Amino acid sequence: MKILVINAGSSSLKYQLIDMDDESVKAKGLVERIGIEGTHFKHNVLGTDKEIEFTRNMADHTEAIAAVLEALTDKENGAIASLDEIGACGHRVLHGGETFKESALVTEESLKEIEALIPLGPLHQRANIAGIKACQSVMPTKPNVAVFDTAFHQTMPKKAFLYGVPYKYYKDLKVRRYGFHGTSHRFIAGEAPKYIGKAADDCKLIICHLGNGSSLSAVVNGKVVDTSMGLTPLEGLLMGSRSGDLDPAVLEYIMDNTGMDIHQMLNMLNKQSGFAGLSVSSDMRDVKAAAAKGDELAKAAVDIWTYRVQKYIGAYNVAVGGADAIVFTAGIGENDTQACADVIGGLAFMGVKIDPAKNVRGNAGVISTDDSTIKVLRLSTNEELPIARDTLAIVSRL
């Protein structure tokens, strides 16, 4: 069976067509600027030179999905002969709240529950729902499955997920830490034990998903015991454009002194902070390039980023009770070997050591020395495959 995996953003839509016979990606693409002048569409069929690329205004996600299906079945540059080959659609959905502890078939009832969670992540949740509804309208006979970014973290104990604010806010409003990047953390939690000769149900991991958005998770025997993102993805590490942890009183102080309202404030903390706020851009490569030219603030931004990751690793080594492995993944974790070496450099006193000969880009697996007290791994994440796997498992039971 082939599964169409959809990751719908507010003005974008990424997709992959995955053949579940061998879990290979057949085709993938990206629609950008949906609902904005100059919608851009790019599609390619993997392992071939088949490509479709054009700019044509698309008003909404339904038009974008229709274009995706047209491209997938295109006689010359498509990947399948007809839509019959698509068994189901799997959707990345931001927030499952406490309602969804695992992936779910989209039904009238579950869609209502997904909609009820819009207040917890309005922009993304609405976009994800738009993606689901677009598939329902263009392919009414195909089942849809929702896979939640938060679900893998639902195993966290209360001591890790409750904030120290009056309990009524948890009881009445469900204010708590949820965590995100769940499909990535879950994929890595499944893969990492294989590289260190351990069983997934007997393995303590610190997973560092370090990309534009970044989060760490502490995983014991396949279950998350703590994670760094919170009610929203704003909490935790310093990120491309998010501040991560900060004293909430900073908000009032800046607002009082600038006249900003709370929406402007949160926009600033989500979109204009982190690397983007401290340095030249939200992209680690740009910040590093500036640092290499002697830009002191860029150097400081990299130091802040590194130090924050180190602090969380220290904390999560306590959370898991002594990690078997620290795993680096996502854009920075997979590519920036120096960033990984710098983070681990701060753990030398614990006997954790990277082997420079193994710390090579593209080298998946163990990158620590043989005598390192905790193994260090670099693995490529895959956020689409867990969505396709869950979708297949759920539709196979229908």
283 in contact with ligand AMP (CB under 6 A): yes
Which of 194, 285 has the CB closer to ligand AMP? Answer: 285
User: With respect to ligand AMP, which residue has the nearer C-beta, 136 or 232?
Assistant: 232
Minimum separation from the CB atom of position 161 to ligand AMP (A) = 25
Judged by CB under 6 A, how many residues of this single chain contact ligand AMP? Answer: 11
Q: Which of 331, 347, 379, 389 binds ligand AMP (CB under 6 A)?
A: 331
Q: Where are the beta strands (DSSP E) in the chain?
A: 2-8, 13-19, 24-32, 40-45, 51-55, 86-93, 104-105, 144-148, 204-210, 214-220, 223-227, 325-329, 365-366, 375-378
| Binding flags for ligand AMP, 206-225, as an x/- string (CB under 6 A) | -----xx-------------
336-395 positions binding ligand AMP, by CB under 6 A: 336
Sequence-ordered list of residues with C-beta below 8 angstroms from that of 208, at least 6 positions apart, any chain: 214, 216, 309, 313, 326, 327, 328, 329, 333, 343
DSSP state string for 189-249: HHHHHHHTT--GGG-EEEEEEESSSEEEEEEETTEEEEES--SSTTSSS--SS---S--TH
- At closest approach, how far in Å is the CB of 207 from ligand AMP? 14
State yes or no: is 256 an active-site residue. Answer: no
Any contact of residue 285 with ligand AMP (CB under 6 A)? Answer: yes
Amino acid at 234: L
Q: Does 330 bind ligand AMP (CB under 6 A)?
A: yes
Window contacting ligand AMP (CB under 6 A); options: 135-143, 228-236, 278-286, 300-308? 278-286
Q: Of 138, 139, 86, whose CA–CA distance to 395 is shortest?
A: 86
Tokens read off for 225 = 């015991």
Q: Which of 240, 244, 274, 386 binds ligand AMP (CB under 6 A)?
A: 240
Instruction: Given the residues 19, 74, 84, 149, select the one marked as catalytic.
Output: 149
Q: Which residues are near ligand AMP by CB under 6 A? A: 211-212, 240, 283-285, 330-332, 335-336
